């Protein structure tokens, strides 16, 4: 097995974060659980959103977890990849729109 910076086994230990801060850890998991309940969005839709966001925030643990969750919810590989592209497009646009700030600063400094 090749070594990685992120240990895949750590994902299974996520619940242990309550050991060092039980009150805050429990509040987080209560909140997390409520967010992913059925509501205006289905659990399937929320899983797909979570997968896209996982890629945008570059969380390998989340990518693993929501790829598995998506498969269990019947999300196809095509739907998953389309969601990843949607997230990438938003992230790219957010980066590029900051180019306006650079352009404004350049114009101001070069006067």
Segment 28-43, tens digit of pLDDT: 999 999 999 999 999 9
* Average of per-residue pLDDT values in the chain: 93
Domains delineated in the chain: 15-109 (1.20.1290.10)
Is the pLDDT assigned to residue 21 strictly greater than 60? Answer: yes
47 within 8 A of 15, measured Cβ to Cβ: no
- What integer pLDDT is reported at residue 17 of this predicted model? 87
Tokens 């790219």 — which residue?
92
Confidence tier at 2 by pLDDT (50, 70, 90): low
Nearest CA among 68, 61, 56, 67 for reference residue 93: 56
Phi then psi for residue 57, to 5 deg, are -85, 0
How many CB atoms are closer than 10 A to CB 78?
8
Angle (CA) 77-73-41 rounded to 5° is: 105
Long-range contacts of the stretch 104-109 (C-beta < 8 A, 24+): none
Torsions phi, psi for 69 (to 5 deg): -60, -45
Comparison of pLDDT for 9 and 45, the residue scoring more? 45
DSSP-based three-state secondary structure for 55: helix
Handedness of CA 53, 59, 62, 67 (dihedral sign): positive
* pLDDT digit string, tens, across residues 67-97: 999 999 999 999 999 999 999 999 999 999 9
Check residue 12 and give its pLDDT.
Answer: 85
Question: Looking at residue 67, what is its pLDDT?
Answer: 97
């Amino acid at each position: 097995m090749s070594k990685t910076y992120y240990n895949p086994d750590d994902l299974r230990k996520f619940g242990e974060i309550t050991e060092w801060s039980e009150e805050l850890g429990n509040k987080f998991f209560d909140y997390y659980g409520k967010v992913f309940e059925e509501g205006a969005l289905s659990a399937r839709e929320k899983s797909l959103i979570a997968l896209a966001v996982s890629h945008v925030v570059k969380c390998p643990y989340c990518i693993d977890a929501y790829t598995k969750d998506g498969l269990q919810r019947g999300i196809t590989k095509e739907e998953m990849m389309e969601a990843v592209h949607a997230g990438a497009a938003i992230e790219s646009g957010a980066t590029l729109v900051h180019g306006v700030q650079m352009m404004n600063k350049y114009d101001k400094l070069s006067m």
